[in-house]
Homo-oligomer: A and B are copies of this chain.
């Protein structure tokens, strides 16, 4: 089913040339090259992290985003000062696009004290509140009401912004997402839910996990909420439709559900031994050959005469250099100390306030 869909993406055949959409038309060449750079940074970062994982330098899960880069880049690059973002555990791409450094991210993967979460969160839990990025969450769909709350806070404070809240195609079947949709529509909360539909939840294809009419996003219709479906391999389309939703949030304080079709090349996590059992290797190859978002964007840049192979290579080399430096930084960084385990639990304790000193907070002897 997924290959079938892939052969003619729902909206790929659309006559609209999204490049002409205002949000794209005004793009400067450097910006377009920047998108390429970010997609390449994600891919190189993750390829390096995969090596480290295979070398046994990481624990727990490693969920690779490779194949989906155009979604994070196409959507998050649209964020303004009052726009925020939150996602699930497949969060490396989002983290890098919002501006987190490869160093802090790679160090986090190795569980180092220099990591973005001081080695306490790991791959699934990257955060950068200073960059309006709220994680990085491990419980499927658990982040969806948080995104609602972030957007609620923007409205409460009278700020014109929104929260881009990402979830997977499997996550739509968690009840809390539906509760969030009803609340968002009922109260006109400026949240934009972005379903990154990579067609599988672990080893389960969309068809085996979800009863749908035309698509997952259409469930929003039951809440009288706007929704749209997006061809994720087309960076211009991703930007145009996401911006439309963000405008709706900014101007009318209304929510949207977007479903962006995409595909992951690797297993659900690196531990996924079945990555090529629940889907045919040919399917994966097919996507790499015909739907790779980076290749497609490179070709587009060439067509537009913005980049040639040399320029692209230069950008890629820079991504590789940055990655190598991050690996070095992470490897050289120290692990947390055992006593660090008790920091970052209660802010009042961390700050040494009166409240933090009153009564026993931890029950070790």
State whether the Cβ of A340 lies closer than 8 Å to any Cβ in chain B: no
CA distance A176 to B218 in the complex (A): 19
Looking at the complex, which one of B175, B186, B212, B218 makes contact with A178 (CB distance below 8 Å)? B175
Q: Given the complex, which residues of B lie within 8 Å of A24, measured CB to CB?
A: none
State whether the Cβ of A350 lies closer than 8 Å to any Cβ in chain B: no
Q: State the interface size on chain A (CB cutoff 8 A).
A: 25
Q: Given the complex, which residues of B lie within 8 Å of A211, measured CB to CB?
A: 181-182, 185-186, 223-225
CA distance A225 to B222 in the complex (A): 12
State whether the Cβ of A209 lies closer than 8 Å to any Cβ in chain B: yes
Interface 1/0s, chain A 89-132, versus B by CB < 8 A? 00000000000000000000000000000000000000000000
State whether the Cβ of A173 lies closer than 8 Å to any Cβ in chain B: yes
Q: How many copies does the complex hold?
A: 2
CA distance A219 to B174 in the complex (A): 15
Tell me if A212 and B219 are in contact (CB < 8 A).
Answer: no
Tell me if A179 and B186 are in contact (CB < 8 A).
Answer: no
State whether the Cβ of A236 lies closer than 8 Å to any Cβ in chain B: no
Contacts A175-B174, A175-B178 known; A222 to B221 CB distance under 8 Å?
yes
Instruction: Tell me how far the C-beta of A16 lies from the nearest C-beta in chain B, rounded to whole angstroms.
Output: 26
Interface 1/0s, chain A 206-226, versus B by CB < 8 A? 001111110000111111110
Q: Could you list 19 further interchain pairs (A-B, Cβ under 8 angstroms) beyond the known A175-B175, A213-B224, A222-B222?
A: A173-B179, A174-B175, A175-B176, A178-B178, A181-B211, A182-B211, A185-B211, A186-B208, A186-B210, A186-B211, A211-B223, A211-B225, A212-B222, A212-B223, A213-B222, A213-B223, A219-B222, A219-B223, A221-B221
CA distance A176 to B222 in the complex (A): 16
Q: Given the complex, which residues of B lie within 8 Å of A218, measured CB to CB?
A: 222
Q: Show 19 A/B contacts (Cβ-Cβ < 8 Å), sorted by A.
A: A173-B179, A173-B182, A174-B175, A174-B179, A175-B175, A175-B178, A178-B178, A182-B210, A185-B211, A186-B209, A186-B210, A211-B223, A213-B221, A213-B222, A213-B224, A218-B222, A219-B219, A220-B222, A221-B221
CA distance A212 to B178 in the complex (A): 13
